[in-house]
Amino acid sequence: MDKIVRRCIRAAVVICDQLHRTPTQPKIPPVPLDLWTNFTQAASRTELARRQKWLIAESVCEQQLRTNALRLRESLFDFCQQRVDTSPPVVLGELIADLQALDGEFDDSSIDLRGQTIQVTTELIELECLELGRFEIVLSYDQLSDCTTPYRVLALDPYLAHEDGCPHPHVQSEQLCAGEGQQAIRTALEQGRLLDFFLLVRQVLRNYNPDSAYTRLDQWHGVDCRDCGDRVEGDDVSGCEPCGAQLCRDCVISCEDCCQYCCDGCSHGCTDCEQVHCHGCLKACRECKQSFCESCLNSEHKPGVCDACCEKEKTEACQEPAEPPQRQPTTQAEATHATTVEVHTLRVGQAVLPA
Amino acid sequence: MKIFVINNDGAGFADHVDIEPGTTVDQLFQRQVSDPKPGNYLIRVNRLPATRDQLIQEGDRVSFTPRKIEGA
């Protein structure tokens, strides 16, 4: 017999045994026989109490009969609702056929009898023009009954992985996040449809869901700086803390006061000292409304007002016209005029008053 | 005649079904799968690729696996 066929048979025997040991949903849901027994016994007691005219006992038995009837009804309703598992039992011949068919679907497949694994190699996976390399899907068939995900996905070309080690948008730490395929994969394993299992995993690897990926493809090899557009990778990527924009080291700005990193849009220079600050560290002058940092804004004389406005106020205060001083007469004529101003008019005690 | 049908869409389904003799793969697909486009599926008969107009025989094993399965 072919060596490969022998390996397939030996692996299939172990798998068949594993799957038969796995507790699966019963073919037919359990019938509530105990509840039926309780109900019929309660009916007999009620009938006996009625015949004997034991009124109190009859009342109690009727209550018990009613309770048992309700429980039986609920249980029969659940019985009718339960899904009957109609999937065929795992057959050794089908397992062997599945294992033999792997060669036709995958670039490479092999069975490790000692490690009790089956592995297949995919073609080179390419998503949105980005080559991710080949992947190996390794099924540990000795864990089929114990583990919910008895398989791993290994990257065979790790140099194509993202810098954080993520080899595929939906693979992390050798675990595939199967998403839409999760239930179908689980069902295929439970039913021993190994070929379907490997096909399903491969189809997940062949597709990309940008809304739910460990690492997005547009960030696979660095990101574009939001401000200058240069490609930036790894530790050279900085983030604007207020808005989250990704920037290169040349474009990122550190606020002079709080030191947080900002982009050009989230920062501004102080009108006075011109040093760059984040918007949170700039305040508007109460007078001129321009933006200033804290040290340039709070004048000694007037908080919330910039130095320029304070100076301007002082200057304006100095320029206000004062009351003109009394001028002393400098000539005789002026002095005479000053002394001949009438105090009294024509009559003593009377003076001409203006209208 | 009785065949074994596997639909790997959604939660997965695998069971024996009765079909009329002379049923093609395409006709079976239209009956079993809600998607109207067979091109969106990998179709295998007895674990081998099949054409849409291929006639299904008694006891065949036919599987439909979606090409597009999105991970998370």
Once rounded to an integer, what is the mean pLDDT over residues A164-180? Answer: 87
Band (A306; pLDDT cuts 50, 70, 90): confident
pLDDT for A101 equals: 95
Query: pLDDT tens digits for B13-30?
Result: 888 999 999 999 999 999
pTM for the complete prediction? 0.61
Tell me whether residues A204 and B14 touch, CB distance under 8 A: no
> Taking Cα atoms as reference points, which of A129, A108, A121, A186 lies closest to residue A154?
A121
Cα separations (Å) of A204 from A1, A144, A157, A219, A266?
35, 20, 18, 20, 41
Comparing CB atoms, the residue among B48, B68, B72 nearest residue A170 is B72
The torsion angles phi and psi of A189, rounded to 5 degrees, stand at: -70, -40
Tell me whether residues B71 and A177 touch, CB distance under 8 A: yes
Residue A226, burial from CB neighbour count under 10 angstroms (0-12, 13-18, 19+) = buried
Helix axes A194-205, A182-190, angle to 10 degrees: 160
What does the alpha-carbon distance between residue A11 and residue A118 come to, in Å, rounded to a whole number?
9
* Residue A345 in this model has a pLDDT that exceeds 60: no
CB-based contact, A178 to chain B, within 8 Å: yes
Strands A267-269 and A276-278: antiparallel
Once rounded to an integer, what is the mean pLDDT over residues A42-64? Answer: 92
Once rounded to an integer, what is the mean pLDDT over residues A27-31? Answer: 63
* Residue A277 in this model has a pLDDT that exceeds 70: yes
Tell me whether residues A187 and B9 touch, CB distance under 8 A: no
Once rounded to an integer, what is the mean pLDDT over residues A220-243? Answer: 83
Query: pLDDT tens digits for A74-133?
Result: 778 767 655 555 556 788 999 999 999 999 999 899 999 999 999 999 999 999 888 899
Band (A296; pLDDT cuts 50, 70, 90): confident
> Taking Cα atoms as reference points, which of B62, B64, B61 lies closest to residue B41?
B64
* Residue A279 in this model has a pLDDT that exceeds 60: yes
CB-based contact, B65 to chain A, within 8 Å: yes
* Residue B58 in this model has a pLDDT that exceeds 90: yes
What does the alpha-carbon distance between residue A184 and residue A145 come to, in Å, rounded to a whole number?
17
Angle at A231 between CA A225 and CA A232, to 5 degrees: 75
What does the alpha-carbon distance between residue B6 and residue B17 come to, in Å, rounded to a whole number?
10
Is this complex's ipTM strictly greater than 0.90? Answer: yes
> Taking Cα atoms as reference points, which of A148, A138, A146, A143 lies closest to residue A187?
A148
What per-residue string of b and e applies to B14-33 under the rule 16 or more CB within 10 Å gives b? beeeebeeebbbebbbeebb
Strands B61-66 and B2-7: parallel
* Residue A162 in this model has a pLDDT that exceeds 90: no
Tell me whether residues B47 and A195 touch, CB distance under 8 A: yes
Residues of chain A positioned with their CB less than 8 A from the CB of B9: 184
Considering Cα of A307, then A312, then A315, then A321, what sign does the dihedral take? negative
Band (A282; pLDDT cuts 50, 70, 90): very high
Residue identified by tokens 């037919």 is A28
Comparing CB atoms, the residue among B11, B16, B71 nearest residue A183 is B11
Please count the other Cβ atoms lying within 10 Å of the Cβ belonging to residue A213: 22
* Residue A49 in this model has a pLDDT that exceeds 80: yes
Band (A199; pLDDT cuts 50, 70, 90): very high
Band (A33; pLDDT cuts 50, 70, 90): confident
pLDDT for B29 equals: 93
- Residue A352 DSSP label: P
Q: Counting one residue from A and one from B, how many pairs have CB atoms under 8 Å apart?
A: 85
In angstroms, what is the C-alpha Rg of chain A?
A: 47
Angle at B60 between CA B55 and CA B64, to 5 degrees: 85
Q: Which of A25-34, A241-250, A289-298 has the lowest mean pLDDT?
A: A25-34
Band (A354; pLDDT cuts 50, 70, 90): low
Q: In B3-69, which residue ranges form alpha helices assigned H by DSSP?
A: 25-32
* A contact test, residue of B13, B40, B43, B70 with most A CBs within 10 A: B70
